[in-house]
Amino acid sequence: MVDVTEEEMDNPTFKRDTVLSDVHLHCPNKRHLMVRLNAVGQPVFLSYFKLIWNTEDSASEKHEATTEREHQYRSGDELCDKDRNNLKKERELNSEGVEAVLDDDGDLEVVRRPRSASDLEAEDLLRDRVYPVILMKAKEDAFEDEEQECTCSDVVKIEHTMATPLEDVGKQVWRAAFLLADYILFIRDTFRCCSVLELGGGTGITSIIMGTVAKRVYCTDVGEDLLAMCEQNVALNKHLMEPGRGEVKVKELDWLKDEFCTDPEAPYSWSDEEITDLHDHCTVIMAADVFYDDDLTDALFRTLYRITHNLRNSCTVYLALEKRLNFTLRHMDVTCEAYSHFRNTLHDLENLQDRKMKYTVEPVKLDFCQFLIYERIEQLELWKIVAEQLT
């Protein structure tokens, strides 16, 4: 734990070359409460994500909100048009019957009148207004206010960062994690009493949602600081777990290594009993928004191949991701190279000739209910892989 001053807590700064998740941009009126600085000096925020169980009410609320916004926009446009017309008429009236004033040399002398309040208001109406999000340091009364607004059974509390370097993106909350969480809640009876492994769990939000229905979830990632944040989020959401089930264990799993971390000195290492339990009982593996680097994608599929070969039972794998389009000078076009590499690797896995395992790949239609508030854009995808034991 770093020792920080009160001034540092009140004035968090973000460095250049950082990556910002779109999840928090979608709800700009939501307060993000800063709770601390992590071990590397990044501001950590606490956000509340409400679970929407009644989707019909949710749809009606969205429709009402959309209608209200459209009404405001129309009103604003009409107001702007009205002021433009008034301003135009005022200028026409002022210009009628006015003779040109010339100076001694015969040059046109322009008489400028003081700017009136109506001019200022009209100019202000023509300018787009920006309302920035205020990032606040958390206070005890602020947390009390948040908790009063929601009930314990329908709110997920997540500590996260708002902007990080690329190597620390796991500390943020991403849309694909919400998409996978939606799917888990939509078919939650499928996962009851299951043992589940998440690869690249990040803040742990998907594992926490899975923990509301599954018997045991192994939430894995790398980096002691990230794993500590994930473990804190699991503790914050114990209220969502059903008695006698919903155990979420935070563990280290490095895709670049061929073995589990079993060092007893390491804080998030595996015991022999946990490795045996994973191999004997795991039937579901999941990962969300981890396909942004080709080397890491290759490492994840190698890990996936190795683990599924060691499982006693057949397994279903769920992979959620977001296609991120970028303009590249090499192609002089908008491309998504990370996504293309993912699809090629997925195709190679499906066509793998293996006497022990058979992998069947299919996309999941995104027509299921939405239980979390985020923007389900068309670039989001969910894939299902059935890893079937042949022997």
CA distance 342 to 349: 11
Q: Compute CA distances 286 → 4, 110, 282, 319, 369, whole Å.
A: 37, 72, 11, 6, 19
pLDDT at 29: 53
Q: What does residue 197 show for φ and ψ, rounded to 5 degrees?
A: -120, 125
Instruction: For 250-305, write each residue's pLDDT tens digit.
Output: 999 999 999 999 999 999 999 999 999 999 999 999 999 999 999 999 999 999 99
pLDDT at 34: 84
Mean pLDDT confidence for 357-385? 95
Mean pLDDT confidence for 152-163? 87
* Short-list 248, 382, 372, CA closest to 318: 382
Tracing tokens 């169980």 back to the chain, one arrives at 53
pLDDT at 27 over 90: no
DSSP 338: H
pLDDT at 177: 97
* Short-list 302, 313, 298, 385, CA closest to 350: 385
Tell me which fold the domain 172-389 belongs to.
Rossmann fold (3.40.50)
Q: How confident is the model at residue 218 (pLDDT cuts 50, 70, 90)?
A: very high
Mean pLDDT confidence for 70-99? 49
**If DSSP codes are grouped into helix, strand and coil, which group holds residue 285?**
strand
pLDDT at 47 over 70: yes
CA distance 310 to 221: 20
Angle (deg, nearest 10), helices 294-310 and 337-350:
20
Ranges 38-42, 54-58, 114-118, 142-146, most confident: 38-42
* Short-list 306, 316, 307, CA closest to 286: 316
CA distance 350 to 359: 5
pLDDT at 106: 65
Tokens of 166: 């690329």
The residue ranking higher by pLDDT, 107 or 283, is 283
Q: Compute CA distances 88 → 74, 84, 115, 119, 175, whole Å.
A: 21, 6, 15, 11, 47
Q: Which of 40-54, 168-182, 288-302 has the lowest mean pLDDT?
A: 40-54
pLDDT at 173 over 80: yes
pLDDT at 324: 86
The full set of domain ranges for the chain reads 172-389
**If DSSP codes are grouped into helix, strand and coil, which group holds residue 77?**
helix
pLDDT at 33: 77
Neighbours of 38 (CB within 10 A): 19
pLDDT at 130: 42
Q: What is the mean pLDDT of the chain?
A: 79
Ranges 11-20, 56-65, 82-91, most confident: 11-20
pLDDT at 119 over 60: no
Instruction: For 319-328, write each residue's pLDDT tens digit.
Output: 999 998 765 6
Mean pLDDT confidence for 104-132? 55
Sign of CA dihedral 5, 7, 12, 14: negative
pLDDT at 242: 75
pLDDT at 276: 97
Neighbours of 241 (CB within 10 A): 18
pLDDT at 108: 66
Mean pLDDT confidence for 225-229? 96
Q: Which of 9-23, 251-265, 361-375 has the lowest mean pLDDT?
A: 9-23
Tokens of 23: 């999840």
What is the C-alpha end-to-end distance of the chain, expressed in Å?
A: 50
CA distance 324 to 1: 35
pLDDT at 6: 46
CA distance 6 to 19: 26
Mean pLDDT confidence for 77-91? 51
Mean pLDDT confidence for 66-93? 48
* Short-list 142, 164, 129, 202, CA closest to 40: 164
Tokens of 385: 């892989």
The residue ranking higher by pLDDT, 153 or 68, is 153
Mean pLDDT confidence for 87-108? 56
| 44, 137 Cβ separation under 8 angstroms | no
**Residues forming a β-bridge with 249:** 218
